[in-house]
Structure 1
Amino acid sequence: MPKSKYFRVAVEGATCDGRTLERQHIEQMAKSYNPQVYGARCNLEHLRSLFPDSVFRMYGDVLALKTEEDTSDGPLKGKLGLYAQIDATDELVELNKSRQKVYSSIEVSPKFADTGVAYLMGLAFTDSPASLGTEMLQFCASSQVNPLADRKTDPSCFFTAAAEVAMEFETDEPEVKSGKGFFNSIKELLNKGQRHFSAEASEIREAVEVVAQSQADTLDRLDTFSQQIGKFADASALKKVTDDLAALTEKLEKQDGNFNQRPPSHGGANGADQSLLADC
């Protein structure tokens, strides 16, 4: 349901049915009001029907109260006012738009539930200040049978004289953006997209760096392994050369050490001596 802005529902010094709404009453109501303890409801003419489809059904709830001192130059200057915020029904909103029931009157309990402090019991809207005006309330109070008695929550309660209210409601309608506002909205969307893309790019970059570092470590290990293999190969070749040299040395050591020249040849076949046939 629509929530209203705070609007004034009573002012200190307002005349009632033989009683006066005092500053302390207003201060106590604003301080003590708690919907969870007792929620004041909105009605018409202080009438409360038992039937939900009645014209005199409830038209909302009082959400909160506060006080403000009148600073205008009018007759209420310096007076303390009681302001209410209500959760109104759609019917009450329509009544307000059509300028119906534009006067308010509150029901006050001067000593709520034996607490000794004033409390707001209800908020009524009326179409004519005369119906709940000062003279009407005083007349009812002086009558042997008060015609308003059955409208009260408790016999000790009193009604304030009706006063005109200026009630406005908070709107949930989307704000119409100007050209600059529209540009700023588009810019913000683009910035959000850029920030999102930057975040994704940063994550990708970090992933690539991790993979690159892993590959670098692998390459370093492969290079080290290759160097070790190379060293192993060089060592094997050196060992082979060393072994071959040792074998050759051993073979040479086994040969005759006194041999100086080959045996003389006598020119004969199959080694036969032919020296006598030569004529020197």
Structure 2
Amino acid sequence: KKGQKLFTSMEVSTKFADTGKAYLVGLGATDDPASLGTEMLAFSASAAHNPLANRKQNPENLFSEAVETLIELEEAQDEKPSLFARVTALFTKKEQTDDARFSDVHKAVELVATEQQILSERTDKSLSDQDQRLSELESSLQEQQTAFAELQQQLSREDSRKDYRQRAPGGDAPAGTLTNC
């Protein structure tokens, strides 16, 4: 918004570490296009001697062309200051009497103790919730294991023959259930 960091530039080594491959050795965002020769490259492309050659790490490295870039930054959200920041703020006041300094130390200790108490309560509640959930899961597992054992026992007592035939009810059975021999 204020015209800052509008130009990008980079420095490329064409034979990096004797591998024969190109490698990006420098990258920057600058306020003015003269940074790392980005603007000068456009004017000195046909010059016999590049005036920015002494800025390169290696004479064979290349500079990028100046390209204007639009960067929009998000506004930072207001966050609650950290415990350290709040304690530090208590000690940064100037020209205080000894009583005021001792009062600030006392406030800082109270602040740390309060934050620690809140953290301890949250931790205790979380652990309690986890213990309860673990107990419920163990109980559920025990019920499932018992039901599985009962089913296994029931199935082991059943006849596993596939050719099993029900017994005939006897001589007084209806004609549809009698065997035709």
Q: TM-score range by the shorter chain?
A: 0.3 to 0.5
- The normalised TM-score by structure 2 is 0.37
Higher relative contact order (Cα pairs below 8 Å, separated by 6+ residues): 1
- The normalised TM-score by structure 1 is 0.25
Instruction: Tell me which protein shows more helix as a share of its residues.
Output: 2
